[in-house]
Structure 1
Amino acid sequence: MSYHHLALAAKDMKAIHAFYEDIMGFELVKVEIAPVMGGGWGKHFFYRMNGDDSRFIAFWELNDTPGEGTYAFDLNEAAGTPQGTNHYSFSVDSQQELDEWRAKWNAADLDVLEIDHNWCRSIYTRDPNGNMVEFCLTTGSFSDDDRARAIAALDEREMHASPPPAMMKQWLAKDA
């Protein structure tokens, strides 16, 4: 089972559209326009990912809703959590594809953080809402020991740190 779509509010729908269609390559395929619970109305834009008609990322452009001037569109700002805690990650199938996305993001004037987490390799940037977006390549497999460690961590109340990342690198757009 996988998710059908992730829905987020948009601070600036035209900037969101430019990022997700022009940079990310997701295709805007549908909009639903309707009243919003609690008052006002919204446009719900659906972007098809990788040509798959069952996988979408969607954004709400909200209009005339109560409190709209006070909304926080960055998920971490809204939740009061540290930056990067709430983020969304898309899968890639090869190191080449990950490198191509990094180059594409840098070419679009976006800074990129790359981390080798020892079992997956990730690149991160921010979308126009300020949310962290990730592409991730799984590079390892999972053992019974990995599962046992994860189960044990459910009850731990002190930090027992994982090994540090094998690599971290900041790719600044101005250096690309």
Structure 2
Amino acid sequence: MGYHHLALAARDIKKLHAFYEGVMGFELVKVEVGPSPGGGWAKHFFYRMEDDNKFIAFWEMHDMPGTENFESNISKAAGLPDHINHISFDVADEADYERRKQQWLGAGLDVMEVDHNWCKSIYTKDPNDNLVEFCLTTGSFSEEDRKTALAELETKAPNFSKPPASMQVHKAEKADA
């Protein structure tokens, strides 16, 4: 079982549309528009990620009490470091991973790349200032991995994981103004 959609508030729906459809390649396929139970009204935009069961969605809010100055970064809104709450998408294989990295760089976005020893990831920011990730699983999980994970549910003295095999930032070439 996977999730059907992740829904987030939109600070600027047009910038989010340009990013999620234009850069990420997700297709806007549906919008629901209606009144909000607490007053005002909203538009709920659905972007298809790979099929009609997987979406990322955004709320554009209008005249809704208490929404004038909301924080769109989900980590900052929770008072947490930026990397804690983030959105991670899968990639099919190494070629798809590399294509996504080049896609972001080509769109003028800096990309952080991390080899976590069992998966590798690329990260950038969306127009809501949220950290977004493409992740490729490169390893497999053993019974020992499971035992370690279960033990960490109870331990008071954690055993730190092996540090990332590599970490680098790829700077996008900025177009001349």
**Normalised-by-shorter TM-score class:** over 0.9
Where does residue 126 of structure 1 map in the other structure?
125
Q: Which whole-Å CA distance do the structure 2 matches of 1:127 and 1:157 have between them?
A: 36
Deviation of 1:36 (Å): 1.5
- Give a deviation string over 1:132-167, Cα, whole Å, max 9, x none: 111010000000100000001111233421000011
Q: 1:6 aligned to 2:6?
A: yes
Alignment of 1:53-68 (within 5 A): 53-68=52-67
Counterpart position of 1:155:
154
Structure whose residues are more often helix by fraction: 1
Q: Give the Å deviation of 1:175.
A: 7.6
- TM-score w.r.t. the length of structure 1 is 0.96
Aligned residues: 175
Q: Which residue of 2 aligns with 1:73?
A: 72
String of CA shifts for 1:12-33, please: whole Å, max 9, x gaps. 0000000000000000010000
**1:156-171 superposed matches below 5 A:** 156-171=155-170
Q: Distance in 1 between matches of 2:146 and 2:166?
A: 24
Given that residues 33 and 42 in structure 2 are in contact (C-alpha distance below 8 angstroms), is that contact kept between their aligned partners in structure 1? yes
Pair 175,139 (structure 1): closer, same or farther in 2 beyond 3 Å? farther
Q: Could you tell me which runs of 5 or more consecutive residues in structure 2 were left unpaired when the two chains were aligned.
A: none
Amino acid at match of 1:36: S
Q: Structure 1 regions of 5+ residues with no counterpart?
A: none
CA contact (8 A) 2:5 2:56 kept: yes
* Residues 152, 158 of structure 2: 8 Å contact kept: no
Q: Specify whether residues 158 and 36 from structure 1 end up closer, same or farther in structure 2 by C-alpha distance, changes over 3 A only.
A: farther
Note closer, same or farther for the CA distance 1:32–1:25 as it changes in structure 2 (3 Å cut).
Answer: same
SS at match of 1:168: strand
Residue matched to 1:111: 110
Measure the CA separation in 1 of the matches of 2:60 and 2:174. Answer: 34
Matched with 2:85 is: 86
RMSD over aligned CA atoms reads: 1.3
Counterpart of 1:139 in structure 2 is 138
